[in-house]
Amino acid sequence: MSEPIKYGPAKLLPGDQIRISTNPDTEPFWLAAKEHRLTACQCAACGHFRMPPTAYCPECSSTEKNWPTLPGTATVFSYVVCNRNPKDGEPYIYVPVVVDIDGAPGARLNANVTGCNAEDVHIGMKVTVEWTEIQDGWVLPNFRKL
Ligand SMILES: [Zn+2]
C-alpha cells in the first residue's frame, strides 16, 4: 500500500488571472461580493434558492428575485485537487470546490478553498468566505477552512 500523496498548502488562483462577465441576472451577486456580502438568488414569490441565478424561478416561473445577505459559511459538497496553474501549466496546488451555501438551501457555488493542505480538504468540511480581488475591480468569493 502506498503512502497518501502530500500536496501541501492549498493556494487560491491569482486574482489577476481571473476575469468574470455579468448579465442582468447575475450582476446583483457580483455587486454584493464587491461589498463582501455573500448572497444567493432567491425567488421572491416562493422562496426557492437557485444558483447560478436565472431569469425565471424553476419552481414557479416568477421573475422576481431577492438577494439576502447570507452568513458567509458553507460546507464542501465536492472538490478536486489540481496541481498545475491553468494559465501557464506551472506546478501550482489549488482546490476547486463546490459548496452548499449556509442559509440558502439548495444553492451551491463553485470556488477555491484555502487555509489548509490540499490533502486535508474533504466532503463535509466547514468553510467561511474569503474575498479575492480579481480583474476589472470585481471581487470573487473563495472559501477558507474553519
Ligand atoms: Zn419561485
Distance (Å) from CA 38 to ligand 1 centroid: 20
Distance (Å) from CA 45 to ligand 1 centroid: 5
Distance (Å) from CA 62 to ligand 1 centroid: 5
Distance (Å) from CA 121 to ligand 1 centroid: 34
pTM for the predicted model, two decimal places: 0.93
Please give the Cα distance from 44 to 29 (Å, whole number).
15
Q: What is the pLDDT of residue 63?
A: 97
Note the pLDDT tens digit of each residue in 51-109.
999 999 999 999 999 999 999 999 999 999 999 998 899 999 999 999 999 999 999 99
Please give the Cα distance from 142 to 86 (Å, whole number).
17
Burial 32-64 (b: 16+ CB within 10 A, else e): bbeeebbbbbbbeeeebbbbebeeebeeeeeee
Percentage of the chain exceeding pLDDT 70 = 99
**What cell numbers appear for 82 in the block?**
489540481
